[in-house]
Structure 1
Amino acid sequence: MRGLSKAAMAQVEARFNVLAASADLGSLAEELFAIAGLFDREHGLRRNMSDPARPAELKAEILRSLLNGKVSDTAIEVAVAAVEAKWSRAGDLPDALERLGVTAAAAEAESFGEIDDLEDELFRFGRILAAYPELRRALSDPNIPGDRKRALLTELLEGKVTRAALRLITQLVVHPRGRSLESALDEYGWIVARLKERLVGVVRSAVPLTEEQKQRLAAWLRATYGREVHLNVEVDPKVLGGFSVQIGDHFIDTTIAGRIEDVRRRLAG
């Protein structure tokens, strides 16, 4: 993505990170894939929802009414964040939702300690396709219904790969979106690798942080650590004021409670 779309993707990802923190990630992945598919099929809807001249509030209202009761509130709000953003081209809107679906599936694998397995399984499936051209032809054949492809993948892979790998491989086979299986696997593998390389920071603040504050904090941490930092924000009145951030063994404390405790330690010493 370039230009407006690159900035829009960063904006929507930041919103996604907040919304997905307490979500069922596997279900969220499936729902975002479904919404991306809706925009792929309904060209008029995609044009209207990605039109930068249309008021963001109107687009959000239309999308909420369309999706309400069909997917989770989290999926709706992620999709709303996407349609409120400004994209360079209409096709970048479903592309962004698909990418976030892959991110949700990878985050689910990460939560189970399976992200290394997921990365390896996507790579190995690409090698399987290269070694068995008949399988590749069958999975790429547009005349074979998606349900049959889904059943074949379940028979081949269920119980042998992680849930996230089966979910992602099924998605790219049943909904290739104009790509070859190899290029789709490479794209999904890149998203998984990117997630794997990020850091996770736990932020504790006396009051909820605004979106602008979260983005500024994330930018500062990215500059400090040289890597993307995913923020999980917890509201904790005991910190009194300011905030603390824990990233692995590193602890950054700007809270009033922390300063009081530091003074106490100094006096005790």
Structure 2
Amino acid sequence: MAAVTGESFASLQEQLADTLDGAELAVAAELFHALDVLDSSPALRRSLTDPSREAQDRASVVRALFGAKVRAGTATVLEAVASQRWSRERDLGDAVERLAVSVAAVQAEKGGLEGLEALESDLLSFRRAVSSSHEVQHALTEPQAEAEAKRKLAGRLSAGVGAEARLLIDRAVTAPRGLRPEALVERFAGQVAARQQRWIAQVTVAKELDVAHQRRLSSSLDRYFGRELKLDVVVDPSVVGGIRVQVGDEVVDSTVSTRLNDLNRRLAG
């Protein structure tokens, strides 16, 4: 991912956090539909990625095209995407796709870590089913086959999955955007797996914690982060003392080794 695109997507994730958290699954479906429109129109993509146009102008194009046809959350996401700078035209669509998957993951996350794990499992089970059969792979990539036929085949291979997995699997088999369907499903699963890190506290300590200490630590971290986390405790004598906790991108570090390193840097500076 080019630097400009990477910075733009990171900015979008921060800017849209509340919108994505409050979005319905239907918003993901609308984002995928908007992506189809973008993919079908080179002129529109050029207009929305033209660095000489003001961000407000690009957002107004999206508002005029989609605003009255989609939910408010969908419009907010699309306008935010159009307002960012992108290294390539395709990056615009890739961002919309990733944000649609984020909405689906947020819906699954209403069931906590277990909900995300179930979504990832559904996606990977489908990928394995497709990868194990050359006939299925051929059927899902046959250019002349109708989208509805591919959707029905995918439904037979993934009966009983949740609504979020159903949306993502159907999307992958009907509009894989140049990838093999099973490869796109695997990419979706990777994005869901990455979100699971928000529910896992990676704890590094100098020596083993007894059960009572782990229980107290778990309770404290749950209160601090506002959700029930799963502890992943690693013993590393090099930290000397204290504790290091990482949950997603957030790090809380009170180890002796870190404090000594900070002191050495200040003395050297």
Q: Structure 1 length as normaliser, TM-score?
A: 0.72
* Aligned CA distance change for structure 1 residues 80 and 170 (closer, same or farther; 3 Å): same
Letter in 2 for 1:86: R
Output aligned runs, 1:21-60, within 5 Å: 21-24=21-24, 26-60=25-59
Residue 112 of structure 1 deviates from its aligned partner by 3.0
Distance across 1 between alignment mates of 2:109 and 2:64: 33
1:150 is the counterpart of 2:151 = yes
- The residue identity in structure 2 corresponding to 1:82 is V
* Matching residue of 1:196: 196
Secondary structure at the aligned position of 2:59 is classed as helix
Matched residue, 1:73: 72
| 1:119 partner letter | E
Shift of 1:121: 1.6
SS of alignment partner, residue 177 of structure 1: coil
Q: Percent identity?
A: 30
In structure 1, distance between residues paired with 2:63 and 2:128: 41
The aligned amino acid for 1:147 is E
> In structure 2, the residue corresponding to 1:13 is in which secondary structure?
helix
Aligned position for 1:13: 13
Paired residues for 1:98-137 under 5 Å: 98-113=97-112, 114-137=115-138
The answer for unaligned runs of 5 or more in structure 1 is: 203-222, 230-269
Report deviation, 1:44.
Answer: 0.4
CA distance in 2 between counterparts of 1:20 and 1:135 reads 34
Which residue does the alignment assign to 1:261?
Answer: none
Q: The residue matched to 1:143 in structure 2 has which SS?
A: coil
User: Partner letter of residue 80 of structure 1?
Assistant: E
Selected match of 1:227 from 248, 266, 269: 248
Which ranges of 4 or more aligned residues in structure 1 deviate by more than 6 Å?
Answer: none
Shift of 1:92: 0.1
What is the CA–CA distance in structure 2 between the aligned matches of 1:156 and 1:126, rounded to whole Å? 10
Amino acid corresponding to residue 9 of structure 2 in structure 1: M
Q: Give the match for residue 239 of structure 2.
A: none
Normalising by structure 2, we get a TM-score of: 0.72
Q: Quote how far apart the aligned CAs of 1:133 are.
A: 1.8
> How large is the Cα RMSD of the aligned pairs?
2.1
Q: Quote the offset at 1:226 in angstroms.
A: 5.3
Alpha-carbon distance, 1:106 to partner: 1.3
Give the superposition deviation at 1:182: 3.0
Q: How does 1:153-168 map to 2 (within 5 A)?
A: 153-158=154-159, 160-168=160-168
- 8 Å Cα contact 1:87/1:93 also seen in 2: yes
Query: Which is bigger in relative contact order (C-alpha 8 A, separation at least 6)?
Result: 1
Alpha-carbon distance between aligned partners in 2 of 1:21 and 1:120, rounded to the nearest angstrom:
22
Q: Once the two structures are superposed, what CA deviation does each residue of 1:33-89 show, in whole Å capped at 9, x if it has no partner?
A: 111111111110011101111111111111101112211111111111111001111
Q: Is the 8 A contact 1:15 1:78 kept in 2?
A: no
Q: Hey, what does 1:182 align to over in structure 2?
A: 182
The structure number with the bigger radius of gyration is: 2
Q: Secondary structure at the match of 1:225?
A: strand
Give the deviation of 1:4 after TM superposition: 0.3
- State the distance in 2 between where 1:133 and 1:166 align: 22
Amino acid at match of 2:120: E
Query: Is 2:126–2:157's contact at 8 Å kept on the other side of the alignment?
Result: no
1:156: how far off? Answer: 4.1
> Contact 1:16–1:78 (CA<8 Å) still a contact in 2?
yes
Q: Give the counterpart letter for 2:145 in structure 1.
A: I
CA distance in 1, matches of 2:95, 2:109: 21
Residue 246 of structure 1 aligns with which residue? Answer: none
- After superposition, the Cα gap between the structure-2 partners of 1:226 and 1:161, relative to the gap in structure 1 and judged at 3 Å, is closer
Q: Deviations over 1:83-105 (max 9, x none)?
A: 10011111100000001111111
Secondary structure of the residue aligned to 1:197 is helix
CA distance, structure 2, for counterparts of residue 57 and residue 20 of structure 1: 21
